[in-house]
């Protein structure tokens, strides 16, 4: 079973917002990414709307034909309301703080089990598949199962950081976490700093990987290779 590529378009919105107009056109970019072969569109609206705006999410819902994945921290009622109104195919819950530049850790699924269980139940009642961001720690994966989530998203920043120096060692906890997740009946996604350099090895060593969400590296590569070519390169990787 091939791993799906969901393209995170936050960085396209960042470039647009820098000038205050509509260049580049975020909606057109999403349509084009799907036309080029992308199998999903991911957005991560934050409370300050520094890249993806809440209004963008409503507009994207009208045009995305593949899988629409909305990431965010459900501690904000505004985020919960957005997800329930838009009803994407998937919501990915991430424990970001208010001013955080980017995601940097997964949920403590043991400590926050009851909270996650309640919010996941609300999303699932609305027919939305849920995924929660976790570090590759067996205890956290087992805790995720207790929340009722459909999937986990393995946080891959540490893998990416050490890929060039000790890939064989750093992949081990991801392989183990994925193996446990499969046994528990959890779907497996992954994301954060995955790139053309490190994606293939990750996919080869993480069993049951259903989907990767890639944004920063892919959009950066597109500056050199072009967006269509870059999407195709990641699909072949």
The set of catalytic residues is 44, 71, 192
- DSSP assignment of 20-56 equals TS--S-HHHHHHHHHHTT--EEEE---TT-SSS-HHH
Residues 200 and 237 sit within 8 Å (Cβ to Cβ): yes
H or E stretch at 58: helix 54-63
Task: Report yes or no: 97 and 56 within 8 Å, Cβ to Cβ.
Answer: no
**What is d(CA 63, CA 4) in angstroms, rounded to the nearest whole number?**
19
Give the closest residue to 202 by CA, choosing from 230, 229, 168, 231.
Answer: 168
Of 103, 62, 54, give the one whose Cα is nearest residue 79. Answer: 54
Q: How many CA atoms lie within 13 A of 151 on its CB side?
A: 24
Q: Which of 36, 10, 38, 12 is nearest to 25 (CA)?
A: 12
What's the DSSP call for residue 99? T
């Amino acid at each position: 079973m091939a791993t799906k590529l969901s393209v995170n378009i936050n960085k396209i919105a960042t470039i647009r917002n820098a000038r205050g107009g509509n260049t580049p056109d975020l909606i057109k970019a999403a349509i084009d990414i799907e036309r080029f072969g992308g199998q999903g569109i991911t957005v991560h609206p934050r409370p300050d709307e520094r890249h993806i705006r809440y209004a963008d999410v409503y507009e994207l819902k009208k045009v995305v034909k593949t899988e629409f994945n909305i990431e965010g921290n459900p501690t904000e009622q505004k985020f919960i309301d957005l997800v329930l109104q838009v009803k994407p195919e998937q919501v990915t819950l991430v424990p970001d703080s208010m001013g955080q530049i980017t995601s940097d850790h997964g949920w403590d699924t043991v400590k926050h089990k009851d909270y996650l269980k309640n919010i996941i139940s609300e999303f699932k009642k609305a027919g939305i598949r849920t995924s929660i961001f976790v570090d590759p720690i067996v205890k956290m994966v087992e805790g995720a199962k207790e929340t009722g989530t459909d999937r986990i998203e393995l946080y891959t920043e540490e893998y990416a950081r050490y890929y060039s120096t000790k890939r064989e060692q750093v992949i081990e906890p991801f392989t183990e976490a994925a193996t446990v997740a499969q046994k528990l009946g959890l779907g497996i996604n992954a994301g954060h700093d995955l790139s053309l350099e490190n994606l293939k090895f990750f996919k080869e060593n993480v069993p049951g990987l259903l989907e990767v969400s890639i944004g920063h590296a892919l959009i950066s590569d597109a500056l050199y290779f072009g967006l269509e070519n870059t999407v195709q390169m990641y699909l072949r990787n």
